Copies of this chain bind each other. A is one copy, B any other.
Amino acid sequence: MFELGVVRRNIVRADRVAVDQLAKFGASTVHEALGRVGLMKTYMRPIYAGARVSGTAVTVLLQPGDNWMLHVVAEQIQPGDIVVAACTTDNTDGFFGDLLATSFRARGAVGLVIDGGCRDVRDLTEMGFPVWSRAISSKGTVKATLGSVNIPVVCAGMAVNPGDAIVADDDGVVVVPAGIARKVADAAAAREANESEKRAQLAAGVLGLDMYKMREPLEKAGLRYID
């Protein structure tokens, strides 16, 4: 893990149909379907509101202040991929802007998740190219030191393997291991079906206390009502 100077060309991507379904459920539902794991740190924010995408991860490990490997990863992108960029240390420099976005899109990428900075946000917003980043920064980068492409990385506190499914929206970024993407998509669908029914009841004034039958366990736990 974390070997530097390596580009893996052949990776096994999560099932395309399953990955495509994840976007419609969104990050929070998928996170629950995964058993409440898989969420990146909450400092990862979209550069504009409203985007919701899912895709397969091509990963890249960057060095601080150096975006050389983003050019290397571009060649490994296939349609439907999301680039997931980690860095060997905390760094907010503007690794990515509208030129790289143009290139990534031309290769078929549907978005970028970067544990670093992003710039040209006005252009990216106009292009509709979604980015989740830890910062927005004009700070330029050099092209001097090797990182790696398509190795396992830790991005914003979450382990990501090449080919994993990624789902990202206003709520954050969730990583689904490639091998269980189908199962998670099914669980998310089941969960969502279930939610419509609950929503209707709650809207009608039914309390969660009753709908989820919480009164007895709360009382057992010692909850006391006083006037």
Contact = CB atoms under 8 A, between A and B. Distances in A.
A135 B3 CA distance: 25
B68 A65 contact: no
A68 B218 contact: yes
B171 A7 contact: no
Nearest to A212: B71
Contact of A65 (B30, B66, B121): B66
Interface string A155-190: 001110000000001111010010000000000000
Interface of A: 1-10, 26-28, 30-32, 35-39, 41-42, 45, 48-50, 52, 63-66, 68, 71-72, 74-75, 88-94, 97-100, 102-103, 105-107, 117, 119-122, 125, 135-140, 142-146, 152, 154, 157-159, 169-172, 174, 177, 195, 198-199, 202-209, 212, 214, 218, 221-227
B2 A103 contact: no
A71 B208 contact: yes
A68 B122 CA distance: 35
Contacts of A68: 214, 218
A50 B123 CA distance: 10
Contacts of A2: 35, 37-38, 159
Given A7-B226, A90-B41, A154-B154, A98 B64 contact: no
Given A65-B63, A68-B218, A218-B72, A142 B145 contact: yes
B31 A103 contact: no
B159 A36 contact: no
A128 to B, nearest CB: 14
Given A9-B225, A72-B209, 17 more contacts: A2-B35, A2-B37, A4-B37, A5-B221, A7-B225, A10-B227, A28-B119, A42-B117, A65-B91, A68-B214, A75-B207, A98-B199, A103-B206, A103-B207, A107-B205, A136-B172, A157-B157
B136 A42 contact: yes
Contacts of A41: 90
Q: Which of A99, A212, A222 has the most CB of B within 10 A?
A: A99
